C-alpha cells in the first residue's frame, strides 16, 4: 500500500535518495528544499505524487507554515523525515558566534521545530512516524566537529523525551545514525579560518584527513537510505538505527567505555544521596 512521506532537505544526500526511491515505487512525497529547481528533473514524471516547497528550517515561522501546507495538500502523512542540516567544521575556538548560532538554528532548533509542527497533525490523524536523520555523531564525537556534535547529541536528547510524551497518541520516532558515507556532506561543510595553534592537535589531524581524502567514508548512501525506509515501515521499529560498520563499531566502543566508567565510580555515585 502506497504511503505518504514528508522529507526536509530533499535536494541532496539522503533526502534526495529517499525521495527518488519512494517516488519510483509509487509513494507520495512532500519534499522541502532550499532551491525549488533542485527537483526539476523529478517534477516532469511524478505528477501529483510530488509536492515541493521551499524551506529554510532555520526560519521558525516558515517551518510551521510549510508543514501545515504539506499536511493540507497531502492529507495524511505517514512518515515525516527530518533530514535538513549541514556540518560546521572547525575547532570550538575557531568558529565564529554567527556560525555557532546558524549551526544550532539549522540542525537542532530547525529539527525541533519540524517535529513540533508535525505533532498536532499526527495527533489528529491518530499517529504516524517521525524519522530523524542524526549521525553516529549523536553518540560519539570527532575533534573539529564540536558544534555539529552539539546539535546531534541535542536532537537525540530531545527525541528521547518527546517520544515518551507522544507515545499515547500513536506517534513513534526513529533516530537514524549513519556513519561516514559517500554523500556530498563533505562538500557542504562550512569551515572557519583555521588557527595555526591547532595544526599539531587532533583537530589539525582531522582537518588534514578531510582535505586529503584519508578520512575514510565506507558507508553506501543508497543502502543507508533504503535501510531508513525499511525501518520506518517495520511493525516494530527501532528507536535508534546505526548504519554502517564504522557506526556500529564506534558507537559500541563509546557505550562500553561509558558503562565501564559508570561502574568504576559506582560507589562514589551512590554515596552522593542523602543519608538514610
As annotated, the active-site residues are: 134, 148, 152
What are the φ and ψ backbone dihedral angles of 162, each rounded to 5 degrees? Answer: -65, -30
Under a CB-based contact definition with an 8 Å cutoff, are residues 12 and 38 in contact? yes
SS (H, E, C) 196-212: HHHCCCHHHHHHHHHHH
Cα–Cα distance, 132 to 8 (Å, whole number): 10
In our burial notation (b when 16+ CB lie closer than 10 A, e otherwise), range 60-89 reads eebbeebbeebbeebeebbbbbbbbbbbbb
Residue 164 C-alpha from the chain's centroid: 19
User: Does an H or E element contain 162, and which?
Assistant: helix 146-166
Q: How far is CA 121 from CA 32, 112, 115, 162, in A?
A: 17, 15, 10, 15
Amino acid at each position: 500500500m502506497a504511503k505518504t512521506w514528508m522529507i526536509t532537505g530533499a535536494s541532496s544526500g539522503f533526502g534526495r535518495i529517499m525521495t527518488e526511491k519512494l517516488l519510483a515505487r509509487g509513494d507520495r512525497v512532500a519534499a522541502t528544499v532550499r532551491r525549488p529547481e533542485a527537483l526539476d528533473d523529478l517534477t516532469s514524471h511524478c505528477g501529483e505524487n510530488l509536492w515541493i516547497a521551499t524551506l529554510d528550517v532555520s526560519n521558525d515561522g516558515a517551518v510551521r507554515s510549510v508543514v501545515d501546507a504539506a499536511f493540507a495538500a497531502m492529507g495524511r502523512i505517514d512518515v515525516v523525515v527530518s533530514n535538513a542540516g549541514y556540518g560546521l567544521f572547525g575547532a570550538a575556538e575557531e568558529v565564529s558566534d554567527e556560525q555557532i548560532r546558524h549551526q544550532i538554528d539549522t540542525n537542532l532548533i530547525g529539527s525541533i521545530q519540524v517535529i513540533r509542527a508535525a505533532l498536532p497533525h499526527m495527533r489528529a490523524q491518530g499517529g504516524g512516524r517521525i524519522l530523524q536523520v542524526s549521525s553516529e555523531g549523536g553518540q560519539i564525537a570527532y575533534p573539529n566537529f564540536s558544534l555539529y556534535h552539539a546539535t546531534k547529541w541535542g536532537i537525540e536528547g530531545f527525541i528521547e523525551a518527546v517520544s515518551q510524551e507522544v507515545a499515547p497518541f500513536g506517534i513513534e520516532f526513529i533516530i537514524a545514525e549513519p556513519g561516514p558515507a559517500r554523500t556530498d556532506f563533505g562538500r557542504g561543510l562550512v569551515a572557519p579560518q583555521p588557527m595555526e595553534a591547532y595544526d599539531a592537535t587532533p583537530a589539525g589531524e582531522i582537518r588534514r584527513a578531510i582535505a586529503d581524502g584519508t578520512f575514510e567514508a565506507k558507508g553506501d548512501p543508497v543502502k543507508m537510505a533504503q535501510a531508513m525506509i525499511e525501518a520506518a515501515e517495520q511493525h516494530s521499529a527501532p528507536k535508534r538505527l546505526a548504519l554502517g560498520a564504522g557506526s556500529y563499531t564506534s558507537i559500541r566502543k563509546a557505550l562500553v567505555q561509558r558503562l565501564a566508567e559508570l561502574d568504576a565510580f559506582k560507589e562514589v555515585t551512590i554515596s552522593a544521596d542523602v543519608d538514610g
